[in-house]
């Protein structure tokens, strides 16, 4: 939303001049003379007051025609976990067998209240829930190797089997002594040049990659859990690590294709459409009509469009490469400005990647 209150905008301008870190993510400033937008702590030369506009979300700035600043990288740094939060998350990941207490956080120079507030705002869960999910996921993997529930409970930092059993059942839907073949869906958060995203994966592969501000995201999580008959818990596996590496290379302009395994529950028609999407070459586009024709069903344009809309794995399954028959941009769950950014990014790097492939 554009900030129209003059007093509020003047306050934001002073925060911009002083590079106040407490305003990072609170506003995004668009510079009219350069068509760039920044966060409060940007080191670039400060614009005049009459040449700026303030927005409450980076997506609003992009919709207004501004592009991300290459100095402060607003779509990444406004949502990237601050040092204290990242340190707290590392403590959890490095110590999956015990609960991290507030005292341990303080001893590591981390403010517990700051971490709790950040998690509620950016993860949609409490820090304690994040911890419990990691510990239960670790316990689940231990139980699958044949370890007893009692031994696993004690090794996971629980004082009693009953407490462990209650938490395990609450998160995974069954007792720790039953259905150990049941799958789980792991979820983590990552940042990109066009905004933060959630990534989900099973043992089979990546099953979701969506921008955190995607409409109806909660409904999408519920549908995924229903289709896979598995709960979502915080964690990370090899597929997610591979995806993060490949995405980094993609955004650097060093990768045009993804090789990470995917897990795409859906109908045969939907999977046929998603496979067709993945065959659209990097740096090019196709229309819904062209997709339907390639599927030998030229009248199924609306069905193809619906299947595109049901794609849960953005960027990797490139639904952003689908445009209108007249060449216009069409609907994109991540927002049309993100779609435009992705198409421009691929167009700008297409030639260099092609030369790299054909070079001896």
Active site residues: 319
Q: Is residue 134 part of a domain?
A: yes
CATH number for position 332 = 1.10.10.10
Q: Above pLDDT 70, what percent of the chain? A: 84
Q: Is residue 150 part of a domain?
A: yes
Domain, as residue range, for 317? 268-350
Label residue 360 by pLDDT band (50, 70, 90): very low
From 54, 75, 96, give the residue that closes a domain.
75
Clarify whether residues 161 and 202 are in a common domain. Answer: no
Q: Distance between CA 241 and CA 225 in Å, rounded?
A: 21
Q: Distance between CA 167 and CA 156 in Å, rounded?
A: 12
Q: Is residue 1 part of a domain?
A: no
CB atoms within 10 A of CB 211: 20
Cα-based angle 35, 37, 38 (whole degrees, multiple of 5)? 150
Contact 169, 161 (CB under 8 A): no
Clarify whether residues 218 and 157 are in a common domain. Answer: no
Cα-based angle 316, 321, 327 (whole degrees, multiple of 5)? 175
Phi/psi of residue 200, nearest 5 degrees: -125, 150
Q: Is residue 247 part of a domain?
A: no
Contact 155, 142 (CB under 8 A): yes
Q: Is residue 158 part of a domain?
A: yes
From 26, 56, 75, give the residue that closes a domain.
75
Q: Above pLDDT 90, what percent of the chain? A: 34
- At residue 180, the pLDDT reads 54
CATH number for position 24 = 3.40.10.10
Reported as a single tens digit per residue, the pLDDT across 188-247 is 888 887 878 899 999 999 999 998 877 788 888 889 988 998 888 878 899 999 999 999
What H or E segment, with its residue span, contains residue 53?
strand 52-55
Clarify whether residues 194 and 152 are in a common domain. Answer: no
Contact 325, 287 (CB under 8 A): yes
Clarify whether residues 226 and 276 are in a common domain. Answer: no
Mean pLDDT of 142-150: 67
Q: Is residue 296 part of a domain?
A: yes
Q: Is residue 246 part of a domain?
A: no
CATH number for position 131 = 1.10.10.60
Reported as a single tens digit per residue, the pLDDT across 47-99 is 999 999 999 888 889 889 999 998 988 887 766 677 788 889 888 887 766 77
Clarify whether residues 227 and 296 are in a common domain. Answer: no
Q: Is residue 358 part of a domain?
A: no
User: What is the domain count for the chain?
Assistant: 4
Q: Is the predicted pLDDT of residue 159 greater than 80, yes or no? A: no
- Its pTM stands at 0.70
For residue 10, CA distances in Å to 5, 15, 37 come to 9, 9, 17
């Amino acid at each position: 939303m554009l900030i129209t209150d003059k007093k509020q905008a003047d306050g934001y301008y002073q925060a911009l001049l002083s590079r106040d870190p407490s305003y990072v993510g609170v506003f995004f400033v668009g510079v009219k003379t350069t068509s760039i937008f920044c966060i409060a702590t940007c080191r670039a030369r400060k614009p005049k007051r009459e040449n700026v506009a303030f927005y409450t979300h980076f997506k609003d700035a992009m919709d207004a025609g501004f592009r991300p600043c290459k100095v402060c990288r607003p779509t990444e740094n406004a949502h990237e976990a601050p040092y204290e939060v990242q340190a707290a998350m590392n403590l959890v990941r490095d110590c999956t067998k015990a609960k991290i207490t507030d005292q341990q956080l303080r001893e590591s120079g981390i403010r517990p209240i700051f971490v709790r507030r950040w998690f509620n705002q950016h993860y949609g869960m409490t820090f304690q829930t994040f911890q419990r999910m990691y510990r239960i996921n670790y316990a689940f993997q231990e139980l699958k190797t044949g370890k007893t529930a009692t031994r696993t409970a004690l090794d996971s930092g629980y004082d009693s089997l009953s407490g462990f059993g209650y938490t395990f059942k609450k998160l995974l839907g069954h007792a720790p002594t039953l259905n150990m073949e049941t799958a789980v869906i792991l979820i983590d958060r990552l940042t990109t040049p066009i905004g933060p995203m959630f990534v989900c994966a099973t043992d089979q592969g990546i099953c979701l990659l969506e921008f955190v501000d995607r409409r109806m995201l909660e409904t999408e999580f519920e549908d995924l859990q229903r289709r896979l008959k598995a709960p979502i818990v915080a964690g990370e596996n090899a597929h997610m690590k591979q995806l993060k590496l490949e995405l980094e290379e993609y955004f650097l302009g060093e990768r045009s294709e993804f090789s990470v395994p995917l897990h795409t529950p859906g109908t045969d028609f939907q999977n046929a459409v998603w496979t067709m999407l993945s065959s659209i070459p990097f740096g090019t586009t196709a229309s819904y009509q062209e997709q339907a024709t390639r599927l030998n069903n030229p009248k199924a344009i609306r069905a193809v469009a619906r299947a595109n809309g049901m794609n849960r794995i953005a960027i990797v399954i490139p639904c952003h490469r689908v445009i209108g028959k007249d060449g216009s941009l069409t609907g994109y769950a991540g927002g049309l400005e993100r779609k435009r950014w992705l198409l421009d990014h691929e167009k700008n790097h297409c030639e260099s990647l092609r030369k790299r492939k054909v070079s001896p």
